[in-house]
Amino acid sequence: MANRILTGQDWEQRVLDKLGLDVAYLPFSVIQQPDCITIAESNVIKQIPRYTEAKDDALIFLESSVVCECAVLLCDSMPTRLPKKESGPHENHELDVDWETRKIYLQVERNGYIGKVIEIAFPELIPSFLPTFGVTNPIRGW
């Protein structure tokens, strides 16, 4: 199935950059799987049903939200993909990435982008939380 939102070139590299990884640890073929990109796009489309109407800045935020969602979906497999320790002839070090925390930050970032799409392209969908009150007659029992 063809991508519906991320249709441009090098979108896979955007996902890698968001995760801070190299293609050696996460090949493009994994990101291109329907379990990743198609699900990520579907998740965002569920929140923005009229996504095809997004233009200009709203489209930039829409694409960024899909990149974040794709990264969120990949976070669960990262502990098994990345080595815990790396060692070479002159250096040893441990990689300490908390992927659960990273996933939470990416979800917050994704939600912010979705909010900006709605704010720019679909302001009528923003719920109005204006304070309302009513005036009643006071009832005193004394």
pLDDT tens-digit map of 47-71: 998 999 999 999 999 999 999 999 9
Number of domains the chain contains: 1
| Residue 136 is assigned to a structural domain of this protein | no
User: How far is it, in rounded angstroms, from Cα 25 to Cα 18?
Assistant: 14
Q: How far is CA 108 from CA 13, 62, 84, 87, 122, in A?
A: 21, 14, 26, 34, 20
Domain containing 58: what range?
11-83+96-123
pTM attached to this predicted model: 0.82
| pLDDT of amino acid 81 | 84
| Residue 129 is assigned to a structural domain of this protein | no
| Residue 55 is assigned to a structural domain of this protein | yes
| Residue 102 is assigned to a structural domain of this protein | yes
